[in-house]
Amino acid sequence: MNGILNILKPTGMTSHDVVSKVRKILNTKKVGHAGTLDPNVAGVLVICVGKGTKFSDILINGDKEYVCELKLGQKTDTQDSYGKIIEEIKEIPDLTEEQIINVLKQFEGEHLQVPPAYSAVKLNGKKLYEYARENIIVEKPGKPVNIKELQLIKFEQNRILMKIKCSKGTYMRTLCNDIGDKLKTLGHMGILIRTDAKGLKIENSVTLDELKFLNDNNRLNECLLPVTKVVPMEEVFVDDSFFDKLIVGNEIHYDTEKITNDEFYIYCKNELIGIGQKKENNKIKISKLLM
């Protein structure tokens, strides 16, 4: 049983909770996730099964897409609706959609983002939320993020609904907090839904109940995606005689001019055995074994 699942994570569950549920449903231990979602966040959670777990590092690096609610007028210690209100204003400035769009555009592109105090980012071997719980103030280093798209969906009263496409590790809570400051008011994150991760879209996701139904009725193939579909690469087929050399990490001769990309799938003995890379003197080798 190998592949990738596009699971619709509900609010109230941790990513680890979802992994545990999938293990029980599929009756297999080799299950992991690629990209954590906080318990209060819903949406696409990429679940890797069997050999799919070997792709978690590739999948976690993909772009993410969110629908995010920004609530104006309050700042919280966690930068979301679950935190303690630490600052509040009675009257929110009159804002136009044009003003909001202009501010959102300022956050597009590459920049440094300072992670929230209540986060799992480590500083000197200790997680930031551990410092925060002990009321220890630390200087948090900025982290490079890339916000590729930031669109206004809707604005009414004190609520701004946005669509965000960004690199991994971007904190939506911090983005909401910073946008609120830029609008010369206060803000924190309300509802957050991940709608896309590495090309896996929310409209194609399945719930845990749906996964159980499909598995119980021998229809798992309807939702368990081949890794080659989720992570498409060029395919290279080599002679069966090279099998023993490749799987122990040795290089083999191959006409590398026939290979277009730096990374590619290597097939041998009619099966996918690894991700390959080009070497000097018309040689290739496996950089990641997939057996």
Helices and strands counted in the chain (H then E): 8, 18
CA distance 46 to 76: 29
The kind and range of the H/E element at 91 are none
Alpha-helical segments (H) within the chain? 15-26, 56-60, 97-106, 128-133, 172-182, 208-216, 227-230, 243-247
Spatial separation of the C-alpha atoms in residues 170 and 43, rounded to whole Å: 16
Active-site residue set? 38
Answer whether 42's CB lies under 8 Å from 8's CB: yes
Residue 40 pairs in a beta bridge with none
Please name the helix (run of DSSP H) or strand (run of DSSP E) that holds residue 256, with its range, or none: none
Q: 112 has which bridge partners?
A: 144
Alpha-carbon distance 137 to 131, whole Å? 7
